[in-house]
Structure 1
């Protein structure tokens, strides 16, 4: 595929890192927020195990999104503005989006708990609608980030810096969240992409996923996929 030349005629900047892992994380969030609202709405109110599982995992998804945005707030925006001042308007838009998503996430815990304690049409609708709102605002934000921010990341952040950031963000996630996202990423990847990923994943994580994580991921996704 040809790379379009800038309007100045200069060569486009060379990539310093590959931020595709960020795009894969975005795809995972899109998938989870596409499933979660209907999982809540269609869950059998008498199936306490499934209700508890969905409530727990929706909370984990929301918490993972919070940590994902917190990482970008703490490690990305100032660096991007400092190294590419022209992207300041896009960074400002990303910050506004994060604030909008955070406001929606703040309302979720009490809705999750209300539904978990008394599952029924009213509590399910309230929580499902809130998750739809999160998905709508988040979806527009992720599209804009992939269009305007990811290319800048790849041009101004080195591969070593990006790897170090990835190690930092991994430490903020609960093990269940890691299994959830690892499983989703494996699902959306091609066989060739999975083979490349397997080369980079530390052996202890691969072993733990094979022994525990794969089954845990399967249970999570079974409960998040509506039964009717």
Structure 2
């Protein structure tokens, strides 16, 4: 057996997708093509902050959990320095975006937020494509299923299930979601049913008409 990378693949897709959507929305707001009342601005600000925390948690778990597993398993076959350098560049940008999101909620000026989110979206596209190209084959070849499950459990344990789980459903393809349901059992169906409505209402508020 080899590690199942489906969860990480969808998590990466969700990070890239949500960041790009937020960057486009912020650009529209900055240009005056959309507007945001108090409720929408607050929801955007909160969602951006949650997204930044989710991205920070994911790459921190890679640094602290996954990289040591890969280095122990693959040894000289892998050089993670460039990916780690990318992670070190992400943290100050995530902090800046969180601060700019709070300013946007107070001022409704999305210019700085749009610039920072666009930069983050571009960085994530490049970083994640490179990471999956370099690291996924090494994980499949060298990392044991037990070690991989330890990494995945650590990532899930420190995450925000109310924020992360509905996004997994949003970004998973039907066949991927079916695989996740088989792996997780009935609890996944129950949790998605509980969280889906709130997620969809929030998405309509953030990406729909101004409120």
The alignment's TM-score, normalised by the length of structure 2, stands at: 0.88
Q: For structure 1, which runs of at least 5 residues remain unmatched after alignment?
A: 1-14
Aligned to 1:149, what secondary structure does the other structure show? helix
Equivalent of 2:82, from 76, 87, 93?
A: 93
CA distance in 1, matches of 2:26, 2:162: 19
Alignment-derived partner of residue 189 in structure 2: 206
Tell me which residue corresponds to 2:41.
51
Equivalent of residue 3 in structure 2, options 13, 17, 40: 17
Q: Which of 139, 150, 158 is the aligned partner of 1:172?
A: 158
**CA 1:209 to 1:20, structure 2 compared with 1: closer, same or farther past 3 Å?**
closer
| 1:40–1:54 contact (8 Å) kept in structure 2 | no
Gapped runs of 5+ residues in structure 2?
none
Count of matched residue positions in the alignment of Structure 1 and Structure 2:
206
| Cα shift at 1:101 | 1.3
Change (3 A) 1:99 1:26: same
1-structure distance, mates of 2:11, 2:169: 11
Which residue number corresponds to residue 77 of structure 1?
67
Kept in 2, the 8 Å contact 1:73–1:95? The answer is yes
Which of the pair is proportionally richer in helix?
Answer: 2
Out of 124, 133, 136, which is 1:138 matched to?
124
**C-alpha contact (below 8 Å) 2:74/2:142 kept by paired residues:** yes
How far did residue 113 of structure 1 move?
1.1
Name the CA distance, whole Å, in 2 between partners of 1:40 and 1:226.
13
CA distance in 2, matches of 1:87, 1:95: 16
Shift of 1:71: 0.5
Could you report, residue by residue, the CA deviation over 1:41-82 in whole angstroms, capped at 9, with x for unpaired residues? 445555211111111111111100000001101111122122
| SS at 2:4 equivalent | coil
> Please, what is the CA RMSD of the aligned residues?
2.0
Larger Rg: 1
Distance of 1:133 and 1:36 partners within structure 2 = 12
Asked if 2 retains the 8 angstrom alpha-carbon contact of 1:42 and 1:226, the reply is no
Give the distance between the partners of 1:160 and 1:223, measured in 2 at CA.
41
